[in-house]
Amino acid sequence: MLVGTKYAMVNEEVGAVIGSTYLIEAWKVIGITFIVQIAFIICSVAFALLLSTIFKTTVTSLGIGTIAVAIISLLIFFMPFPFLKAIYPLIFISYSSTLEILTGALNRNLGGSNISISLGLIVLAIWAVSCFIASYKIFTKEDVLT
């Protein structure tokens, strides 16, 4: 599979950087995809746990979580705004499509941002740890008060 294509702005248009694409074996693609998807699932669970500790009812946390993820996914994958290009790599939902990250298609669609697998694993780890810590703090604070 051809992966790693980097994109950059050239004369106000997004173009592929020459020599940035390379070939990797299918088993490596499967392994990378598996690792990133496991990290994404852990991060999603941490985010859902945070929402469930913030909101008292399951219906509210489920509704707000679903709407938030849907809106953010629309902004990232279907209607990317150029002025948000610097923020997209910091949002964990950006890393839900591993093949688009590997092939560079996501960078092209977002206007040459710097989304990569290594950055994705770091961002997913930070989001997961932050959400778990915030959930723990909120839960213990509410538990002590009641």
Name the pTM for this structure: 0.81
Amino acid in position 113: S
Interval 41-69: pLDDT, tens: 999 999 999 999 988 888 888 899 899 98
| Beta strand extents in 5-139 (DSSP E only) | 7-10, 13-16, 22-23
CA dihedral 56, 61, 64, 70 (to 10 degrees): 170
- The angle, 0 to 180 degrees and rounded to 10, between the axes of the packed helices 26-54 and 117-145 is 20
CA distance 29 to 60: 38
Question: Are 76 and 11 contacting, i.e. CB atoms less than 8 angstroms apart?
Answer: no
Beta bridge partners of 15: 8
Tokens representing 139 are 């839960």
Categorize the per-residue pLDDT at 78 as very low, low, confident or very high, splitting at 50, 70 and 90.
Answer: confident
